[in-house]
Amino acid sequence: MNLAQAILLSPSDNVAVANGRLEAGTPLPGGAVTVAAIDGGHKVAVKAIAAGSAVVKYAQAIGRATQDIAPGEHIHSHNLVFESGRLPVVPPSEAEHATDDDRARTFMGYRRADGRAGTRNFIGIIASVNCSTTVCRAIAEQANQKLLPNYPGIDGFVPIVHDQGCGMSGTGDGMRVLHRTLAGYARHPNFGGVLMVGLGCEVNQLTLYGQKGVAAGKRHFNIQEAGGSRKSVEKALGVLAEIAGEVGQLQREPIPVSEIIVGLQCGGSDGMSGITANPALGAAVDILAGAGGTGILSETSEIYGAEHLLGSRAATPEIAEKLDGYVKWWEDYVALHGASLDNNPSPGNKKGGLTTILEKSLGAVAKGGQTTLNGVYGYAEKVTEHGLVFMDTPGYDPVSATGQVAGGANVIAFTTGRGSCFGCRPTPSIKLASNSALFRSMEEDMDIDCGRIASGEIGVAELGREIFDLIVETASGRKTKSELFGYGDNEFVPWHLGATL
């Protein structure tokens, strides 16, 4: 079978994936031929599938057929339905191994006073409330124009702004999540210094961030106390000049790769994401974890139906139980709002060939590789375990990545099949294209072409090694395509929970 026509992921599968558009009469694995044209990334039956029978991809059931499906027929929303319930656990294939050289490897990073490792040297201007957002943006703009040219050792002044902080309860999940997220950014190792700016009368008071271990030593003030907006900008520039004088002197130094923490993201997925980019990123994570580093898998609503595959390799039963607890919370949460977790695949996902959340989840879980699951964290909680961990987040990319960065991710690896454009200062974002057509059409945004797996140019393990190398180079200062364009100032989106009052 020509790999460039249709890909059979497992001998037990009853569907293949079109690798590019297939015209009617195209030969398929097992001897069948397509009965009509099928778009790239979509599924085609390679065996007869009776109505009510499981449709199998990745050696896992992704749903059930709603009608009899003949070999060579297109399989999608018209004849495949989501069905909740446990999937059979398939023994994982052997993980990629880290070598002695991997474990001894270092990257050139910034060693912070609290001992953590940064991959960038930004200064943050953090808003405590929506009311100080405009001032924070003005401060960052002025600082980048007037101060940054004098301090080549600083990567930039970054406004961290949002639409929360008031009109909400001072207690409860909403405030706890917002506070945890902002505190995570305030202490993030990619910030050499931070200035927090409030209005003065908001619910989310700046005094909440002066506690030890949250933002001790960080500068902050309120606009009302400074005498207004323009005076606040002037005052901030004086404070930032002092911070820059300290931060601008810092130099990169060798740091073990075990201190790299990678947030694993996928957005704008297509039918190739779970075949190329996600498994290749998983292979890179296996190497990183073997070298002592950390990968944060997230997006709970997008691992739904495949969470047991993670739980089956959890280091302890308690870790598996904690993951199940978050999944149950999501089931109750969407039911409360009259929705279903199967609503998750977006129109773009479905146009790209994905049909059900089970299919999408199996591909998404591949980002975590085959290594042991060593921890489960709530949204924006500080990550302390090494190896593969899971953080509870929504599937919406900016919200999910914001939680990962707040938890300490100093690099983001983001797979996409439709062409998501994303950055998340202060953390660099590596973009992995799942298909070569996307890489060619958006090369100015994509860092690695994972479509080479589908064309047979490179194997999953070999590309995983390439991604691992790029992660280390990025941690050492190599600019990603997203950074070169300037993404990252508008992608800070904390998870909004609770009532707006």
Query: How confident is the model over 415-446, as pLDDT tens digits?
Result: 999 999 999 999 999 999 999 999 999 999 99
The tokens describing 90, both together, are 């398939």
Nearest-5° Cα angle at 446, 94 to 281? 10
Quick one: pLDDT at residue 84? 57
pLDDT range class, residue 342, cuts 50, 70, 90: low
pLDDT range class, residue 93, cuts 50, 70, 90: very low
Helix axes 277-290, 460-475, angle to 10 degrees: 60
Quick one: pLDDT at residue 2? 43
Is pLDDT above 80 for 167?
A: yes
The share of the chain scoring above pLDDT 90, in percent, equals 71
Quick one: pLDDT at residue 92? 47
Question: How much is the average pLDDT of 81-87?
Answer: 62
The share of the chain scoring above pLDDT 70, in percent, equals 94
Residue 307 and residue 285: Cα distance in Å, rounded? 18
Nearest-5° Cα angle at 242, 240 to 248? 85
pLDDT range class, residue 42, cuts 50, 70, 90: very high
pLDDT range class, residue 338, cuts 50, 70, 90: confident
Pick the closest to residue 272 from 116, 460, 462 (CA basis): 460
Sign of CA dihedral 454, 460, 466, 472: positive
Is pLDDT above 80 for 205?
A: yes
Question: How much is the average pLDDT of 42-61?
Answer: 88
Quick one: pLDDT at residue 124? 97
On the 0-12 / 13-18 / 19+ scale of CB atoms within 10 A, 449 is: buried
| Phi-psi label, residue 31: left if phi above 0, alpha if psi -120 to 50, beta otherwise | left
Quick one: pLDDT at residue 85? 53
Order of all β-strands in the sheet with 6-7: 6-7, 15-18, 43-45, 74-75
Residue 308 and residue 224: Cα distance in Å, rounded? 51
Is pLDDT above 60 for 493?
A: yes
Is pLDDT above 80 for 461?
A: yes
Quick one: pLDDT at residue 215? 46
Quick one: pLDDT at residue 248? 94
Quick one: pLDDT at residue 217? 47
| Phi-psi label, residue 322: left if phi above 0, alpha if psi -120 to 50, beta otherwise | alpha
Residue 214 and residue 319: Cα distance in Å, rounded? 26
Quick one: pLDDT at residue 307? 87
pLDDT range class, residue 96, cuts 50, 70, 90: low
Instruction: Check: CB of residue 364 under 8 Å from CB of residue 299.
Output: yes
Is pLDDT above 70 for 3?
A: no
Question: How much is the average pLDDT of 73-91?
Answer: 72
Quick one: pLDDT at residue 95? 56
Quick one: pLDDT at residue 343? 57
DSSP string, 152-195: TT--EEEEE--S-SSSS-SSSHHHHHHHHHHHHHHT-TTEEEEE
Pick the closest to residue 272 from 20, 12, 52 (CA basis): 20
Radius of gyration of the chain (CA): 23
Is pLDDT above 70 for 4?
A: no
Q: Tell me the pLDDT tens digit for each residue of 280-323.
A: 999 999 999 999 999 999 999 888 878 887 888 899 999 999 99
Indicate the range of 83-97, 126-140, 483-497 predicted with least confidence.
83-97
| b/e sequence 376-404, b meaning 16+ C-beta within 10 Å | bbbbbbebeebbbbbbbbbbbbbbbbbbb
The separation between the first and the last C-alpha atoms of the chain, rounded to the nearest angstrom, is 61
pLDDT range class, residue 91, cuts 50, 70, 90: very low
Q: Tell me the pLDDT tens digit for each residue of 251-264.
A: 999 999 999 999 99
